[in-house]
Amino acid sequence: MLRFSTAGESHGESLVAMVSGMPAGVAVDQEFVDRELWRRQKGYGRGGRMRIEKDTAHILSGVRHGKTIGSPIAMVLANNDWKNWTEILPVEAGDATKHKAVASPRPGHADLAGSLKYDFPDARYVLERASARESAARVAAGAIAKLLLRALGVEVASHVIRVGKAELGRAATWEEIAALQLKEEVLLNCVDAEAEAAMKAEVDAVLRTGDTVGGVFEVVVHGLPPGVGTHANWDERMDGLLAQAVMSLQAVKAVELGRGVTAAESVGSAVHDAIGYEKEQGVGGREQGVGKAVRFTGFTREQNNAGGIEGGISNGEDVVVRGYLKPISTLRRPLGSVSFETREPVKAAYERSDVCVVPAAGVAAEAMVALTVARLVVEKFGGDSLREMQRNFNGYCEQIRAY
C-alpha cells in the first residue's frame, strides 16, 4: 500500500516526509521534486516567510542511483527560519517573553481549540504544527507520487479559478492548465491574463486594508484509465478519498468533484454526461504525455460534469477536483480575541502572514490528489517493480480497449 506521512514544526529545524509502498525502478528526478517545492512557494500575496525559505528535498533513503528501490523514501526539508528561532523556541513553557508566546488566540486558527485540548499555556505550541508550512513536506511526497503516475502516462496539474470575487469565467483546457505548470513566473496561476489581473486586484485591495482573501483552485488528473477506485466499499471510493485528501489541507473548507456544487441546483438531464461511441478514434492506442489526448476506449462523453468519477470509480475522463479556501485567518488588522493570561479583550496576535495562498494551496492539493490516485493505482495494478506495474497497466488498457 502506498502511504505517506509528514513530521516537523513550522519553525523547528526541518520538515520530514516519508513515502512507503512505491514500486522499485521509478526514476526520481531531484530537479522535478525541487521545482514542485518552488511552485508551492510562489504566488502573489505570500508573506515575508517565503523570502526566507528556499525549499529543497534532501532524499535520505529509498532511492539508489536515481531510482526507487522499493524501500521507504525519507526526505528532509530544512526550515531556513529555524536559525532565527534556535535561541527562542526551546525555553521553558510559560516564559512568554522568551519563546514567542502567542498570548491571544487568533480566530480561524487552531490556537484556542488546540491550547484547550493539549493543555498548553499559549498557542505557540499549537500553531507550530497546525501551520501550513507542513504542506511543503506533502508536496515533496506528492512529487514522488507524480513521478510514478507520469511513468504510466498520468499527469496532475492545477490552476486557480477564483480569488475573492474575481473568477475565471470559462472552462480551461487541459493544454492550458498543463502549460501553466511550466511557467517561470507565477502570479495567480490562472490560464487567462485578464482574469488573473482581476485576481491580482483582489489581493491588492486586501493588502491595502489589512485584510485577506480566499478562493478556489482546480486540480485535474489527465490520462487516468477508467476503473481506478471502486464502488464496492465506502472507504475505497475514489471520490471520498480525494475529498478527504484535499479537505485535509490547511484553509480548505469545501471540496467539489466535477460540477458538484452547481449540479445541486440543476436538473438531471443537464448534469449527467451522455455516453457515445466512436470506434475509429477511440480504439487503437493511447498517446502518453502532457497535453496529448488520452482515449482508452471508444466510449465518449459530450461533457465532463461528473469530473471523471462515477460511483467512486474513474471513468476515463479527466478527474476534476476543486478546493475552496477560506480567506487567510491572520489579519494585519486583527479581530478581537482574549488574553490567555488576563482574560481581558485584546486584539488577536499578529507578526506576519500571507494574504492570499490560492496558487500555493493548488500545488499542495496536486500533491494530495497525486498521492491518492497513486495509492489507488498501486492497489489496482500492483507490482513490486515499475516494469511489473507497467505490464499490468498496459494489459488492463488492452483489455478495456477490446471490451
* Residue 229 grid cell: 477506485
Between 303 and 353, name the residue whose CB sits nearer to ligand EPS. 353
Select the residue interacting with ligand EPS from 131, 230, 300, 385 (CB under 6 A): 131
Closest listed residue to residue 32, CA positions, set 384, 390, 372, 366? 366
Choose from ligand FMN, ligand EPS, none: what does 53 bind? Cβ within 5-8 Å by kind.
ligand EPS
Distance (Å, whole) CA 243 – CA 238? 8
Minimum CB separation of residue 335 from ligand EPS in Å reads 15
Q: Does 218 bind ligand EPS (CB under 6 A)?
A: no
Between 104 and 305, name the residue whose CB sits nearer to ligand FMN. 104
Between 22 and 331, name the residue whose CB sits nearer to ligand EPS. 331
**46 in a labelled binding site:** yes
Cβ pair 333, 210 in contact under 8 A: yes
**143 in a labelled binding site:** no
The CA-atom distances, in angstroms, between 388 and each of 1, 164, 191, 229, 391 are: 16, 47, 37, 20, 5
Choose from ligand FMN, ligand EPS, none: what does 163 bind? Cβ within 5-8 Å by kind.
none
193-232 mask for ligand FMN (x: CB under 6 A)?
----------------------------------------
In the range 341-370, which residues lie near ligand EPS by CB under 6 A? 351-354
Select the residue interacting with ligand FMN from 242, 364, 371, 378 (CB under 6 A): 364
Between 343 and 352, name the residue whose CB sits nearer to ligand FMN. 352
Is residue 310 helix, strand or coil? strand
Q: Does 132 bind ligand FMN (CB under 6 A)?
A: yes
> Is residue 66 left, alpha or beta, with left meaning phi > 0 and alpha meaning psi from -120 to 50?
left
Select the residue interacting with ligand EPS from 7, 38, 47, 192 (CB under 6 A): 47
The pairs formed by 286-291 with CB atoms below 8 angstroms and a separation of 24 or more are 286/153, 286/223, 286/397, 288/153, 288/223, 289/153, 289/155, 290/155, 290/157, 290/178, 290/222, 291/174, 291/175, 291/178, 291/179
Distance (Å, whole) CA 98 – CA 84? 13
Residue numbers in the known binding site for FMN are 129-131, 250-251, 311, 326-330, 352
* Residues in contact with ligand EPS by the rule CB under 6 A: 10, 47, 49, 53, 131-133, 136, 250, 351-354
